[in-house]
Amino acid sequence: MTGVPGLSWIDSANQPTSDFPLANLPYGVFSRAGEPARCGVAIGDMIVDLAALGAAGVLALSAPSIFDQPALNAFMALGRENWDEVRARLTSLLSADGDPSLRDNALLRARVLHPAGTARMHLPFRVAGYTDFYSGRHHAENVGTMFRGSDNALPPNWLSLPIGYNGRASTVVVSGTGIRRPWGQVKPSGVDLPTFMPSRRLDIELELGAVVGTPSEMGVPVSVSEAAEMIFGYVLLNDWSARDIQAWEYQPLGPFQAKAFATSISPWVVTTAALAPFRVSTPPRERALLPYLQEPGPMLYDISLEILMRPAGSARSTVISRTNYREMYYSAPQQLAHHASGGCRMDTGDLLGSGTISGPTKDSRGSLLELSWGGAEPLLLETGESRSFIEDGDTLTLTGWAQGDGFRIGFGACTGTIFPALDR
């Protein structure tokens, strides 16, 4: 893997365990008390105010005011040439041996640099549409084995295309947003008809979300290579799932209310440029893919991922799963190319969920459904509690990073706490 990147004059960015070194520079949207939300970049334990930097005239961008708004969409729509230009300029301004225009100007630093701890993070982009895929083979085989048996674990089409469904963009929320336990139709085993009740088998799905930057045209497919150029970056994604609601409703069209109530994403979008040194190939194909889905080169990333659970009233979290994004069978560019293959227009701000990222071992499974094997094998937390599914007050956190030699490209955290269902 790549060696240590250049150092920043912001010392906290040079720590080996920092999620946000000079080589990362992820984008987000933040605000401070009494101030409007605007775009920023994370470096170390600081946030660079891109709106203030643009107003000062030190960004190499024809429309610097593009960052003076509460979403990244306008910047993402400019395309890769502009993304690369701004990234190069920020790298120079924040490098220890780069352009001193910011480093040596105390007044500008005071306007542009803010401690991350003083900021509130917002949803980083307006979510135009949300599509969730089912592209992790270990996850698909685990779930299929539970419900259909090991001989019929994968659907017949699974090895030929990335299966997906259209989810709800309206309930995609930023990390830290409380999640209300959903109501829905549940049909317990042994009864003939369903009951309307709060979900009792509430779960998470550990995913990575790909964020579409540049749009495509309706009626015009895109290749896998073109799809890769359209993707601005990636976020951690928790696709909260009500398994008991899903079990009753999903035939024949798939998930609906069981997943529509909430999807959480991390506040920082890690760019494809930052992740480029960590590219890895998808696994060997058991069945040859059709030409439109074949990759021209490595399309996945070596990204370590963890799930942490903290019970209500406890200050201590337990790591309940460790896995890696490289376990996916289909990459985000393949998913995007397949999405557009029939002529579907892809928009700036579209969000593509990878599907649950599970590894080959029990401790690398990406959902509680798998970790507890449908509730038959409850997890024992380090705090002494056991869990099969999520209880009210539990906090779930996803973390992820690509590990370099002496540095890491991190995503921060994607966190959510479950609130009790509303009385009805």
Q: What type of residue sits at position 50?
A: L
Q: CA 18, CA 9: separation in Å to the nearest integer? A: 14
User: Which residues, 6+ apart, have CB-to-CB distance to 118 below 8 Å?
Assistant: 32, 33
Q: CA 245, CA 241: separation in Å to the nearest integer? A: 9
Burial class (CB in 10 A: 0-12, 13-18, 19+), 407: buried
Active-site position among 114, 122, 138, 139: 139
400 membership: H or E segment, kind and range = strand 395-403
Range 62-65 contact pairs with CB under 8 angstroms and sequence separation of 24 or more: none
Active site residue 122: no
Per DSSP bridges, beta strands 300-301 and 46-49 are: unpaired
User: 3-class SS at 418?
Assistant: strand
Burial class (CB in 10 A: 0-12, 13-18, 19+), 34: exposed
Q: CA 133, CA 154: separation in Å to the nearest integer? A: 14
Residue 256 is given by DSSP the state S
Please say whether the dihedral angle defined by the alpha carbons of residues 123, 276, 133 and 359, taken in this order, is positive or negative: negative
Q: CA 354, CA 2: separation in Å to the nearest integer? A: 25
Residues assigned a catalytic role: 139
